Amino acid sequence: MNPQPTSHDALEVIPLGGMGEIGKNMFAYRYGDEILVVDGGLAFPEAHQLGIDLIIPKIDYLQENAALIKGWILTHGHEDHIGSLPYIMPRLPRVPMYSAALTLGLLREKLSEFGIKEADTDLREVEIDAQVKIGQHFVVDFFRITHSIPDNMGYVLTTPVGKVVHTGDFKIDRTPTDGKLSQLDRIEKAGDEGVLLLISDSTNAERPGWSISEAEVAENMEELIKSARGRVFITTFASQTHRVQNIIKSSEKLGRRVVMEGRSMLKYAQVSQQLGYMEFKDPLVTSDEVGSMQDSQVLYICTGSQGQPMSVLSRLAFGNHAKIALKRGDTVILSSSPIPGNEEAVNTVINRLYEIGVDVLYPPNQKVHASGHGSREEQLHILNLARPKYFLPWHGEPRHQINHARLAQTATRPPQRTLVAKNGDIVRLTPDDFKVVGTVPAGAVYVDGLGVGDIGDDIIMDRMSMSQEGVLIITAVLHPTPHIELVSRGFIRSNRELENQIRKVALEAVEQGTRDKKRLEDIRDDMYGAVRRFVRKVTGRNPVLIPLLVD
Amino acid sequence: MNPQPTSHDALEVIPLGGMGEIGKNMFAYRYGDEILVVDGGLAFPEAHQLGIDLIIPKIDYLQENAALIKGWILTHGHEDHIGSLPYIMPRLPRVPMYSAALTLGLLREKLSEFGIKEADTDLREVEIDAQVKIGQHFVVDFFRITHSIPDNMGYVLTTPVGKVVHTGDFKIDRTPTDGKLSQLDRIEKAGDEGVLLLISDSTNAERPGWSISEAEVAENMEELIKSARGRVFITTFASQTHRVQNIIKSSEKLGRRVVMEGRSMLKYAQVSQQLGYMEFKDPLVTSDEVGSMQDSQVLYICTGSQGQPMSVLSRLAFGNHAKIALKRGDTVILSSSPIPGNEEAVNTVINRLYEIGVDVLYPPNQKVHASGHGSREEQLHILNLARPKYFLPWHGEPRHQINHARLAQTATRPPQRTLVAKNGDIVRLTPDDFKVVGTVPAGAVYVDGLGVGDIGDDIIMDRMSMSQEGVLIITAVLHPTPHIELVSRGFIRSNRELENQIRKVALEAVEQGTRDKKRLEDIRDDMYGAVRRFVRKVTGRNPVLIPLLVD
Ligand SMILES: [Zn+2]
Ligand SMILES: [Zn+2]
Ligand SMILES: [Zn+2]
Ligand SMILES: [Zn+2]
């Protein structure tokens, strides 16, 4: 950590999340004594981060410079952009927070779940192409750009050193569901005036071509719903408002009444509908109400696109949903792809659905899902519109950032310099220079149960060891007669002979130590070492050993 | 479990592994008092099977009917077909075991590692298109069929009730590396004579078209090696003898000397070379010897295609290989796809390689890998050659079996009946009938460390709980003055206040129990319950609680 003093001729971009990873997007702009914060997202743990519910960014830098924060902007309502806010906002000053209606609607819902009062926040709804002045030095010109949730925004940031274009998450959907096209002219205009830095979404930098439009997905889905004879069950991301809307439209057209199942599905639909982003001609019905309808008149939209164990689709697949049972003749459509890490869970659900005998439809054999992120041609199009002097590939793992960086070299006017930054880097930008000049603390804060930050990597390591080999607790009771008690969890099947041998080994160590008048700690360590060696030799295993001495 | 008595007019097919899963392939044919066993493979654990090294099939049925086993045939040398044999063979009688040279060569290597003597086995090498009579009732006509390892065999089994065709694992490679085409005429001939049952590989029943030939992979790889400026590192499955051979040929042609790194890579190469399945014009060199050569004259073939933590490629990617360090200008080719479950590990390796700055090439953007299993057109071709009366889709999860079953309905002459069987099903076959008539014990035996079968699902469940929330051990010492000691692993960061509160709650329960003169077990249970409720309320967590009472 070696931040240089901030001068008045440079803009600093300081990513606190989302750089070198997909998730927990958050970064800060700093110019002089003013900080502008962008987003505050969460990440989901990887398989080896055992027992962690979610991960939020480390915000030490912002806490240390809290007085400088002049404003906060949110690009859109996905969890990886607003999911950390209930954890982070209470620890930072109340500053104006700007975003579009749906994003703030989803955030309000979230804050109220956490018991955070509206009065402790300063949420300011803006039009999707509004101009906002923040502090003395930042002017933000938002623009609409298509993604997999409505009200998604990019923006042009005008600063004393020059213009920054940040795409936000994007795809370039030329036939969006709501007919509202991306305002790419804003990027082009900025390009005409001169863009110093482009910060662009790298997610699909390894996918050639142009992404599929949501309209094409809607068409394919409607065909499949039309040809289904029995009930139809569709799962997708709850935040995929446009897709859910399209499914509802198709259902209405094809004479099917819609049942929504799953808390998050209902929550998003409610917020979207209240704010005018989702329309129902026919009101929703409940699974009880459809009891009297014919199978061909019913369609369920439900949670579970990632194979989450408690989701509606998983409960249906495993036959333990309280009210609904799948049967032959039903059609299940997974309008989604597994997020990396969820492949096994989704595969298990798909197999169970096949075993039940329903028709199961999913990508890639069925074109029922489109990514919310643009492919290479779309990324290149943005580069050609913005024509930036400097380029910062963002929202991607190193493989995505680096492929995006290489793609930039094929632009009509390639950037003069591209940096592949990491979380915590201080990226310093002047009209003539662009480099990493230091770092600030950055990284993962684990959230588990009610605790934030009380789980560290050392604890994860212990969990890892126990998950591999279990735990063996050896209690030596010294008085009146020394004896050993054993308890294990997750080790091996109860085995009298082995247990007796372990007891004997432990007791010998204790008795030897007592004879030698060793200190209790040393006796305990001797016992630990003796048992560890013995267990490893006899079983080939290394359980977590916990030696206890009761005097 | 309800096996009906075996009659003399029926053949039973009894899968003990590989049905409804990809892995641990093994099944038995039974006719009257004779049993013929096919393969004996292992499976790798899924992510939730914590700490398990590998999984072998339950063989209770074979042990109970050991006297009836007349012979054993092995289709090929992959782990999912021969990997369990060192665990299984010692527990079953010594019977003739037939296979081709490479398969037996790999098996011998494996048995000797386990200290199993050749004299305790009865390995009989056969030509790849040999005929073998086993017992009184089984005649096996092997045939060559292409796959991702040499010496792969299918066979026509002639029994008193009719002919069975088993493809074994297969693809139909029309330009195989060694020029040896699949002997599909054998299947066609059987089809002309009448096939009662076809057992066919379902792995890629969801992939349209025809699989890529190994020749195409070889060509693409050679192009990439040719255009590499610096050193080239290639990882692939060690058992992919043909691909390794092709890489060696390309290296020799392009003037690069080959270094092989990784124990399994060297082991397979050695067996393959000894048996004449792999040729080197230039002898292998060591990584020390290439020190003096130019980067453009060196090519490494190494282990690690699945991101295994201790493999050569992982050590290179994480910069902790003892002798070799990657650098800019190097090219790394992953000639493989991640097996389901390994996606995260492979992704991490790829990201680290990008960070080092090497050129990283992998599918699907580079066509450097081909599956060893045929796609739908190939599966259909086999169905049309065999024209079976009955069909048993094998070597697949339910999704693959069921798609294969549906595909069969599009054959020129669709089977009269298809069964989607499970491990343990007794599939009974007569000239006029084909059905599941009962089950035998079947399932997974876990191998962990030196232990086989001493880990059960209950232990896995304990490991799962500890991996999620850690463990908290509460020891109540009753004399002289009652007091409580706490130890935890993988729970939360040491927190005096919380620990004191837990101690207080536990002590109150103990003192109350003592006053009420409860039994020790009841006091322990009271303490457990009180602490559990308190911890859940205060932390939102449910660690594995272990209460100990020392009187
Ligand atoms: Zn997004
Ligand atoms: Zn995002
Ligand atoms: Zn195979
Ligand atoms: Zn196989």
Q: Residues of A marked as binding for substrate?
A: 369-373
Residue of B208, B399, B477 with shortest CB distance to A351? B399
Give residue B8's pLDDT: 66
Is 70 exceeded by the pLDDT of residue A333? yes
Give residue B12's pLDDT: 98
Q: Where are the alpha helices (DSSP H) in B60-149?
A: 60-64, 79-82, 85-88, 101-113
Give residue A218's pLDDT: 97
CB contact, 8 Å: B384 with chain A?
no
Query: Most distant CA pair in chain B: distance in Å?
Result: 89
**CA distance readout (Å), A263 to A238, A302, A338, B194, B502:** 9, 9, 20, 57, 34
Helix, strand, coil percent values for chain B (each to nearest 5): 35, 25, 40
Give residue A6's pLDDT: 55
pLDDT tens for A48-73 read 788 888 999 999 999 999 999 999 99
Residue A355's beta-bridge partner residues? none
Mean pLDDT calculated for residue range B246-261: 96
Is 80 exceeded by the pLDDT of residue A108? yes
Higher pLDDT, B160 or B551: B160
Mean pLDDT calculated for residue range A265-293: 92
Q: Which of helix, strand or coil describes residue B272?
A: helix
Residue of B450, B490, B540 with shortest CB distance to A463? B490
The band of B481, judged by pLDDT with boundaries at 50, 70 and 90, is confident
CA dist., res. B56 & res. B89, Å (int): 12
Is 80 exceeded by the pLDDT of residue A47? no
Residue of B449, B475, B493 with shortest CB distance to A550? B475
What is the distance in angstroms between the CA of the first residue and the CA of the last residue of chain A? 48
Ligand in nearest proximity to the CA of A171: 1
Give residue A4's pLDDT: 47
Separation of CA B79 and ligand 3 centre (Å): 8
Chain A residues near residue B477 by CB distance under 8 angstroms: 550
Q: Please, which residues have CB less than 5 A from ligand 2, an ion?
A: A 80, 169
Please give the DSSP secondary-structure letter assigned to residue B135. T
Options A373, A400, A404, A425, the catalytic residue: A373
Q: Residues of B marked as binding?
A: 51, 53, 76, 78, 80-81, 147, 169, 369-373, 395, 448
pLDDT tens for A184-243 read 999 999 999 999 999 999 999 999 999 999 999 999 999 999 999 999 999 999 999 999
CA distance B44 to chain A (A): 13
Interface contact B492-A50, CB threshold 8 A = no
Give residue B2's pLDDT: 40
Residues of B (34-53) whose Cβ lies below 8 Å from A: 46-48, 50-51
Q: Residues of A marked as binding?
A: 51, 53, 76, 78, 80-81, 147, 169, 369-373, 395, 448
Residue of A355, A450, A491 with shortest CB distance to B540? A450
pLDDT tens for B486-497 read 998 888 887 888
CA distance A128 to chain B (A): 35
pLDDT tens for B327-383 read 999 999 999 999 888 898 999 999 999 999 999 999 999 999 999 999 999 999 999
Interface contact A544-B489, CB threshold 8 A = yes
Separation of CA A81 and ligand 1 centre (Å): 7
CA distance B354 to chain A (A): 6
CB A502 within 8 A of CB A486: yes
Interface pTM, i.e. ipTM: 0.90
Share the mean pLDDT of chain A. Answer: 94
Share the mean pLDDT of chain B. Answer: 94
Q: Please, which residues have CB less than 5 A from ligand 1, an ion?
A: A 78, 169
The beta-carbon contacts of B451-457 under 8 Å, at least 24 apart in sequence, are B451/A492, B451/A539, B451/A540, B451/A541, B452/B56, B452/B87, B454/A492, B454/A493, B454/A495, B455/A492, B455/A493, B455/B51, B455/B52, B456/A493
Chain B residues near residue A203 by CB distance under 8 angstroms: none
Is 90 exceeded by the pLDDT of residue A452? no
Interface contact A399-B485, CB threshold 8 A = no
Residues of A (387-426) whose Cβ lies below 8 Å from B: 397-399, 402
Cα B25 from chain centre: 9
Residue of A354, A451, A469 with shortest CB distance to B51? A469
Interface contact B495-A454, CB threshold 8 A = yes
The band of A495, judged by pLDDT with boundaries at 50, 70 and 90, is confident
CB B495 within 8 A of CB B535: no
Give residue B510's pLDDT: 93
Is 60 exceeded by the pLDDT of residue A5? no
Give residue A430's pLDDT: 97
Mean pLDDT calculated for residue range B117-123: 96
Is 80 exceeded by the pLDDT of residue B77? yes
- Residue for token pair 């999860």: B397
- Most confidently modeled range among A68-72, A319-323, A455-459, B468-472: A68-72
User: A156 phi and psi, to 5 degrees?
Assistant: -105, 125
Options A201, A330, A359, A425, the catalytic residue: A201
Options B39, B141, B151, B201, the catalytic residue: B201
Residue of A350, A468, A546 with shortest CB distance to B489? A546
Cα A330 from chain centre: 32
CA dist., res. B467 & res. A439, Å (int): 33
Interface contact B347-A397, CB threshold 8 A = yes
Is 60 exceeded by the pLDDT of residue B504? yes
Please count the residues of chain A: 551
Chain B residues near residue A399 by CB distance under 8 angstroms: 347, 350-351, 354, 360
Instruction: Find the helix or strand (DSSP H, E) in which B550 lies.
Output: strand B544-550
Give the tokens for residue A428: 């310093």
Mean pLDDT calculated for residue range A516-528: 91
Chain B residues near residue A493 by CB distance under 8 angstroms: 454-456, 459
Residue of B340, B490, B539 with shortest CB distance to A449? B539
Mean pLDDT calculated for residue range A485-501: 88
Residue ranges of domains in chain A, CATH in brackets = 11-209+371-447 (3.60.15.10), 214-361 (3.40.50.10710), 456-549 (3.10.20.580)
The reply to whether B201 belongs to the active site is yes
The beta-carbon contacts of B456-462 under 8 Å, at least 24 apart in sequence, are B456/A493, B459/A470, B459/A490, B459/A491, B459/A492, B459/A493, B460/A490, B460/B48, B460/B49, B460/B50, B460/B51, B460/B52, B462/A470, B462/A489, B462/A490, B462/B544
Give residue A1's pLDDT: 40
Is 70 exceeded by the pLDDT of residue B542? yes
The band of A451, judged by pLDDT with boundaries at 50, 70 and 90, is confident
CB contact, 8 Å: B341 with chain A?
yes
Minimum CA–CA partner of A467 in chain B: B463
Q: Residues of B marked as binding for Ca(2+)?
A: 51, 53, 448
The band of B7, judged by pLDDT with boundaries at 50, 70 and 90, is low
Is 60 exceeded by the pLDDT of residue B3? no
pLDDT tens for B50-71 read 888 899 999 999 999 999 999 9
pLDDT tens for B274-312 read 999 999 998 899 989 998 899 999 999 999 999 998 999
Chain A residues near residue B204 by CB distance under 8 angstroms: none
Across the A:B interface, residue pairs with CB atoms under 8 Å apart total 176
Give residue A48's pLDDT: 78
Q: Please, which residues have CB less than 5 A from ligand 4, an ion?
A: B 80, 169
Minimum CA–CA partner of A355 in chain B: B398
Higher pLDDT, B411 or A283: B411
Is 50 exceeded by the pLDDT of residue B1? no
Mean pLDDT calculated for residue range A254-266: 96
Residues of A (450-469) whose Cβ lies below 8 Å from B: 450-451, 454-456, 459-460, 462-469
Q: Tell me the residue ranges of DSSP E strands in B123-271.
A: 123-125, 131-134, 138-144, 153-159, 162-166, 197-201, 232-235, 257-261
CA dist., res. B441 & res. B446, Å (int): 15
Percent of chain A with pLDDT over 90: 83
Chain B residues near residue A449 by CB distance under 8 angstroms: 469, 539-541
Mean pLDDT calculated for residue range A414-442: 97
CB contact, 8 Å: B473 with chain A?
yes
Q: Which of helix, strand or coil describes residue B252?
A: helix
